[in-house]
Structure 1
Amino acid sequence: MNVEANGHQFAYIRRGQGEPLLLIQGMSGHHDMWGDWFLELLEPHFDVVAYSHRGISTSSRADAPFTIADLADDAAGIITASGWQRAHILGISLGGMVAQELALRHADSVQTLTIGCSWAGGPSVALAETARRMVDAMATRDVEHALKTGYEANLSPRFAADPTNFSRYAKLSLSQRVPVPVVLMQWDAAQNHSAYARLANISAPTLVIHGTADACMPHRNGEHIASLIPGSRLELLPGVGHLFWWEQPQRTADLLLSHTLQNSS
């Protein structure tokens, strides 16, 4: 299905019932990458909308560069198009950057904020070289190489050691259209993201989740974000990689449910 918002069409899925929950994917991610096993845990509690960013899947083409702020405006439009006044937000990686800007630019649209495996920019942290290698691998347009590099970057060694997990990762990664030029524009947008000096202005109740074995976005980035948002709660997941909701779906769902229940209208 597609929904029109902010002058674009966005591929999305909508499942479950309950409190409104918007899921915002990361760089090169799409709506299928949340995984049925995770969405099934959310459905009894939330009216879940998961979408693909501009240029990804069947969403509108992205022919010109964009910023994280542009993507935040997209997210705000999707909240409105979904018939919600505001929503709980879960954004991961690039989507966590979008979630930060969403809470800053459209505060009235955000009921609670959950930021996963992301960064806020600033001089004291940096994007990991592993993330750059993943982008470089995609730029080669060698599908097998890109899949293997992404798999190793996104998941902990323990989880990645199970070959059935690679099969699942490859199948879902390839299930939707992900143009390399769009990913490169996402990478540029992420590199230019700088919200750290403004995070103190976020008023939404905030949960920060980060795996301690995240090779793509080291967990000091999550600690940094949590230190800058007043009253935020930090949950570090020991030994867990970048795709923490893949490795610990039940724990992630429980954290999200607890956070939103404490801060529901």
Structure 2
Amino acid sequence: MKKAIIIAITLIFTVCLLFAAGCTAAPADSGSPDKIPADKTLPEISYENTPVHYSEVNGVTLGYREFGADNTEPLLMIMGFGGTMDGWNETFIGILSENYHVYAYDHRGMGESTDVDAQFTVAQLADDAAGLITALGYDSMNTYGVSMGSSVSQELLINHPDKVRKAVLSSATYSAGIPETEKLHALLLENAEGEDVDSGVRKEAVANLEWDGCYDNLSGIANDVMLITGTEDELTPQSVAVDIAGQISGSWLVRFKGIPHAGSSYAPEEYGRITTTFLEMNESPV
């Protein structure tokens, strides 16, 4: 693991974050991870007070919110299965918006976004992300994808690599049909077949179940990538993140002890700071 990475992590965290080949330690106060020390002031955001904007992309209207200064690096947040842009932890988004112009949006058929009368695919959701980046006036953005959002991000990296500057894959898997993701597969199947399931959620479930995965294409990813996983993640276990990191040359791997699936909701400050560290790190040869 690169010496510069280890130095950066040591300087920023008071907790121990060790990478792919090491042990892990829990973030401070992991039993109550949303608790922030009284002497520390973090940026505050409010979904209620932040307007929703809309953009036409690939035949649908995608709703999004934006946070942070206009002249900062863009960061696109790609939500996971069944979630909407208001599902991101506000402390987490607030930390990211200190140094980045953060865009959080709803996938087609979810929340503020419209849909068409047809089943979509994970690759199509990646096309939507690429189209939104262009519609917002950028050639490329940094991206952060969680759970299904990390699957969308992988398809984005494979099919639209020029649209991505750096990518964070949180609670990632390269397929919902592998033995390690048995619980995730059962959850998706339940939502795909449920009678009272929202149409958008059902379509997301079907898209994930029909996704062939991308393991064979991971080695072709040349973008800078960081994977974040929790050791208590039962839906996308840490072993899957290790496998993905092994396929993407030069990728970072951060494991948080005791954190479950979609860890930014449980340890928003730690996830925010490690994300910022990764995005700001200059990994070019000296």
Same fold (TM over 0.5): yes
SS of 1:207's equivalent? strand
Mapped to 2, the partners of 1:135 and 1:32 lie a distance apart of 25
CA deviation vs aligned residue, 1:72-98 (integer Å, no higher than 9, x gap):
000001111111111111001110000
Aligned mates of 1:206, 1:47 — CA distance in 2: 19
2:186 counterpart of 1:129: no
1:48 is aligned to 2:102: yes
Instruction: State the match for 1:70 in structure 2.
Output: 124
- 8 Å contact kept, 1:88–1:110: yes
- What one-letter code is carried by the residue in structure 2 that aligns with 1:24? I
Q: Does 1:191 align with 2:209?
A: yes
Q: CA, structure 1 residues 124+30, in 2 after alignment: closer, same or farther (shift >3 Å)?
A: closer
* Partner residue in 1 for 2:33: none
Pick aligned residue for 1:33 from 87, 101, 108: 87
Structure 1 residue corresponding to 2:77, chosen from 23, 35, 42: 23
Q: Name the structure 1 match of 2:113.
A: 59
SS of corresponding position for 2:181: coil
Aligned-partner SS, 1:56? coil
How far did residue 66 of structure 1 move? Answer: 1.2
Look up the match of 2:56: 4
- Structure 1 unaligned residues grouped into runs of 5+: 142-178
- 1:158 is aligned to none
Q: Which whole-Å CA distance do the structure 2 matches of 1:134 and 1:192 have between them?
A: 11
The 5-angstrom pairing of residues 190-209 of structure 1 reads 190-193=208-211, 194-209=213-228
Does the C-alpha gap of structure 1 residues 244 and 122 become closer, same or farther in structure 2, counting only changes over 3 Å? closer
- Which position in structure 2 is the counterpart of 1:97? 151
Question: Shift of residue 261 of structure 1?
Answer: 0.7
Aligned to 1:28, the other structure's residue is in SS state coil
Deviation at 1:121, TM superposition (A): 2.3
TM-score relative to the length of structure 2: 0.74
Larger radius of gyration: 2
Letter in 1 for 2:223: A
Which structure shows the bigger proportion of residues in helix conformation?
1
Question: CA-atom RMSD, angstroms?
Answer: 2.1
How does the TM-score come out when normalised to structure 1?
0.80
Shift of 1:135: 5.8
The alpha-carbon deviation at position 63 of structure 1 amounts to 2.5
1:180 lines up with 2:180 in the alignment: no
The alpha carbon displacement at 1:205 in A equals 0.4
Contact 1:127/1:191 (CA < 8 Å) preserved in 2? no
Shift of 1:130: 5.0
- How many residues matched? 228
Q: Aligned in 2, Cα 1:125/1:132: closer, same or farther, shift over 3 Å? A: closer
Which 4+ residue blocks in structure 1 deviate beyond 6 angstroms? none
Deviation at 1:4, TM superposition (A): 1.6
Comparing 96-105 with 189-198, greater Cα deviation is found at: 189-198
Deviation digits for residues 192-238 of structure 1 (CA, Å, limit 9, x no counterpart): 33100000111110100011111222222211211111111111111
Q: 1:8-64: CA deviations, max 9, x gaps?
A: 211110110211100000110110011222111111110000100000012112421
Shift of 1:67: 1.1
- Return the alpha-carbon distance in structure 2 between the equivalents of residues 122 and 134 of structure 1: 9
2:133 and 2:139 in contact (8 A); partners too:
yes
Structure 1 match to 2:238: 219
Partner of 1:120: 174
